[in-house]
Chains A and B, each alone.
Chain A
Amino acid sequence: MRRPMAASAPNWLHVDTEDEVRPQLTTLSSCMTLSDVQCDGYVRLLAADISLDDAAEEPSATLKVFRGLKLKQEQPLPGIPTAIESLYIDESEPKTPVIAVAIAESVLFYRHLKPYFKYTIPAQDSEDLELEVWRKLPVMKQDAHPALLESLQNIDHAKLSRKSQRLLQLSEEEREAFITTHRDSAVGRGGSIVAMCCLKRISSDANPPSHLVLATDSGSVLILEPQGFNLVFEGKTCADETAVPSLISVQGTYETDFCIVVATRNGGVYLLRKTQSEGQEIFKLGTPLTGLLLLPIDQTIIASTMDNRYLCYSKRGKLLYQVPLQELPVCILPLPMTHLGLTLVAIALKGGVVKFYLQRYLVDEFALSETVDAMLYGRMGMEDHVLTLVTQSGDIVVKILRRVSRFDPKPGDLGNKRSGSDHSSIVDASILDKPKKSSIFVEQAAREKQQAKATYGSFQVELWRLRLTAARATIDAINSSESTISGDLTHAPVKLSAEVCGSGPAFRLYLTVQNLSTFKMASNLVVLLHADRRHYTVPQTLARLPSVLPGVPLRVDFEVVAVLDPMDKLPPASLSPDNSQIRVMLMKAGQAKPLIAAAVSMPQSEAAF
């Protein structure tokens, strides 16, 4: 194994705790979070310590709060949590974080580390057969029980209620007592929460209020709004009933747009968007996944698999790159480094090596004495970039990012890692990440090279055609006088503006005629209105205007009444926003061609009462 690169100046500062009693912790990445629980600006580490000792009867968990590396508080949890999140639920000051702990089918909310609310996801209908069995079990004799249990076993295990699942696990002797104690409890089937994530509602300030994204083992993905505890989004991972989510990752904000990536236990990865409630399959792997991330910046999906690979897919399911790993990846973690503008991916391998990748390039690594089980990165205490690692035997290792650390892919290192022909291309790619040329682009470039003359010719033809079309349109516009300023050079230039008042069906159309010349008088002007008779009634369509002096606007008004059906008081069906127009023509007496021809679009008429 290679030693950590540049051991003299490591990027991570190791926090020493040699003289103190080291706290022990057995946990998972999802059961750790950082939170300012005391609201004093000092971010503490919260983790569920899961004890799976054989000596203890039932596995139990405690919520532990560490200030720095010192255990400050602990609180027993009523079950084994699947995930812990710290979130803000409202904008009220002072901002108090709420700790959400997902246990089985409910989410427990803690405020100031005191129980605050318990939310249980709605139960689904259970199988009729199961209900029947539970109805019979307490009343029938013990001899008949094995047959009933047999029928329970025939039902898909995932579709059974928790009560029945437990019953099937018990030994013969224990069953009787279990049945008598649980005979009256409901046979509900609430899917257990298998993964939980935070989704910011808006991306305004540092601690925006968040929603919780929950994935259940029945395949549904729910978004819980933690202020009124309502479900604001309900989706399915996929159409297939048996797909059980195992990992989720969320990006985006609830108000604008978000993406939820769900990995199932079978190795399928599905994408849910805000607009669609059923996930679409992005890719499917033959081996189970150990980690799944949706990266915020380039919106790629990172997965680590049991066959020692680290894969990156686009949202459309295209494999962008894959990196073989020497050992089994145990957990992966995104490290957003906002001050550097990049996101690293930390991968903890079996054996204790932790590698840091910037896209496909290894930028840093270090080795611990044993396998890392859980990792957490973020602001802890007063420091922004703290990586907390929990090893298999329960040691907590804290590493702080050096301020002067820079993560650049090393071209030489990359070259050594890749063998053979593609050596030079990878070095180039590391300098400047150009987009890959698609086959269409290459074909097009080749065609242009072969038929340069024809290509140039046809381009020129199209260019001239475009110019001709534009010129024609200009001439048309001038000829039809379709503008608000008269273009006839022999007369004084006149400007016409229109204004429609009223809400209907009777409107008043105000026309303002202005002489733009400085010395010429505009005389003998006539205004003519033209409207579709089926849509508008204009009592007076013609008005002779007095002479318009330069600079003095002349205002005339006309009455326009929209035609409404006398029966239902609605405008005729043929009226559409496109043809609800009145043409206004400004003419000079004795001339056939109008000076100005304008179309005044009329507003929608209100019904007359």
Chain B
Amino acid sequence: MGMLHNLADLIKIKKDKMTILVLGLNNSGKSSIINHFKKSSEQTSIVVPTVGFMVEQFYSMAGVSIKAIDMSGATRYRNLWEHQLKNCHGIIYVIDSSDRMRFVVVKDELDLVLQHPDLCNRIVPILFYGNKSDMEDSLSSVKIAAALRLENIKEKPWHICSSNAISGEGLGEGVQWLIQQMRFAMLNNKDAAKARSKHSK
């Protein structure tokens, strides 16, 4: 019986839409990454700085329907991030691995996101992209994880991989991990909700 339930839940999730929030500083490559996930006919050759945010729909991304919110990373739009935190199931945090000077800003903004009340009590998987891995000054994903002290993130599943948004290297691997984690998180949440409703009865 339990197994059947799980299966039904899995099918149900397929109908569900998952919302992924794409965060990161300006010029880290968020829109380029999103651009790479689009169909080749919809891709644009020139990516311009995002103003505010953009919403992109993907109907068959690794078997699920995904809504990606591409937030602007410009300083004056970063205060918009927190408004989207409530409704997201997963976060992609894009880091320019060649911009060593701004790691401190990356860390600060990440801490602000993680400490936000809409997010701190939920299990939301976070995928870090160490983007621009082709640049000469770029750091490896291990070094970035150390610089940002990602090991301190205990209550949320996270994963870091280096990527190259122009060639698409490393992007697929990360997204597969994220979707898998989002599925688990949703199942857990549903189980928890069920357990709670049973208790209330």
Stretch at the interface among A131-139, A198-206, A377-385: A377-385
Q: For residue B112, which residues in chain A have a CB less than 8 angstroms away from its CB?
A: 403-404
Q: With A68-B99, A382-B25, A404-B112 in contact, is A15–B78 under 8 Å at CB? A: no
- Whether a CB of chain A sits under 8 angstroms from the CB of B108 is yes
CB distance from B102 to the nearest CB of A (A): 6
CB distance from A147 to the nearest CB of B (A): 62
Query: Bound complex: CA of A15 vs CA of B147, how far in Å?
Result: 11
Q: With A403-B75, A403-B109 in contact, is A381–B102 under 8 Å at CB? A: yes
Indicate the member of B25, B101, B108 with the most A CB atoms within 10 Å.
Answer: B101
Taken residue by residue from 27 to 43, chain B's Cβ proximity to chain A (1 for < 8 Å, 0 otherwise) reads as 10000000000000000
Other-chain residue from A13, A70, A398, A403 in contact with B137 (beta carbon distance below 8 A): A70
Q: For residue B27, which residues in chain A have a CB less than 8 angstroms away from its CB?
A: 41, 382
A384 lies within 8 A of B101 (CB):
no
CB-CB nearest in chain B for A380: B101
CB distance from A183 to the nearest CB of B (A): 53
Within 8 A of B (CB), among A69-118: 69-70
Taken residue by residue from 7 to 36, chain B's Cβ proximity to chain A (1 for < 8 Å, 0 otherwise) reads as 000000000000000000111000000000
CB distance from A461 to the nearest CB of B (A): 58
B75 lies within 8 A of A14 (CB):
no
CB distance from B101 to the nearest CB of A (A): 4
Query: Bound complex: CA of A285 vs CA of B108, how far in Å?
Result: 44
Other-chain residue from A20, A382, A400 in contact with B26 (beta carbon distance below 8 A): A382
Within 8 A of B (CB), among A395-409: 398, 400, 402-404
Taken residue by residue from 86 to 115, chain B's Cβ proximity to chain A (1 for < 8 Å, 0 otherwise) reads as 000000000000011111110011001000
**B interface majority secondary structure:** helix
Q: For residue B105, which residues in chain A have a CB less than 8 angstroms away from its CB?
A: 13, 383, 400, 403
CB-CB nearest in chain A for B96: A382
Number of cross-chain contacts by CB at 8 Å: 51
Q: For residue A403, which residues in chain B have a CB less than 8 angstroms away from its CB?
A: 75, 78-79, 105, 108-109, 112
Q: With A339-B75, A382-B25, A403-B75 in contact, is A14–B104 under 8 Å at CB? A: yes
**A interface majority secondary structure:** loop
B75 lies within 8 A of A16 (CB):
no
Taken residue by residue from 66 to 79, chain B's Cβ proximity to chain A (1 for < 8 Å, 0 otherwise) reads as 00000000011011
A15 lies within 8 A of B26 (CB):
no
Q: Which A positions have Cβ atoms within 8 angstroms of B?
A: 13-17, 20, 41, 68-70, 339, 380-385, 398, 400, 402-404
Q: Which B positions have Cβ atoms within 8 angstroms of A?
A: 25-27, 75-76, 78-79, 99-105, 108-109, 112, 137, 147
Give 27 CB contacts A-B under 8 Å.
Answer: A13-B104, A13-B105, A14-B104, A15-B101, A15-B102, A15-B103, A15-B104, A16-B103, A16-B104, A16-B147, A20-B100, A68-B99, A69-B101, A70-B137, A339-B75, A339-B76, A380-B101, A381-B99, A381-B101, A382-B25, A382-B26, A382-B99, A383-B75, A384-B75, A400-B105, A403-B112, A404-B112
